[in-house]
Amino acid sequence: MANSRKIPVNTITRDLCNLAEPTKNIYETVVILSKRANQIAIAEKKELTRKLEDFKNDRDTMEEVFENREQIEISKYYERQPKPALVAISEFENGEIYYRMAKEDSKEE
């Protein structure tokens, strides 16, 4: 999840009116944000699992697991990343999320 823009790693207070402005409905905005955050979380989990697969060994003992420095560093890297919800909010505020409403699609048919 290499990202060039600055995304806060801590929760910040947001103005709900500004956040809901693109959709004109805070509930629709929350649904969009939650779906995008889930997509990001799933992608991060797959990426982390793929990287940690290299360290998987059927004969690992507890001592070997604790001594694997590189595996610990990879895990710490992902722990320091911004939470998926914060990334989703940042993308939404910057107009980087494409969304459409189902009711609009049914009217066009």
d(CA 65, CA 88): 33
- Using alpha carbons, list the distances in angstroms from residue 61 to 32, 64, 65, 69, 71: 43, 5, 6, 15, 15
pTM greater than the 0.85 cutoff: no
**pLDDT digit string, tens, across residues 3-12:** 546 787 777 8
Q: Where are the beta strands (DSSP E) in the chain?
A: none
DSSP character string of 8-35:
-SS-----HHHHHTTTT-HHHHHHHHHH
Enumerate helices (H) and strands (E) in the chain, giving the number of each: 6, 0
**pLDDT digit string, tens, across residues 72-88:** 888 888 888 899 999 99
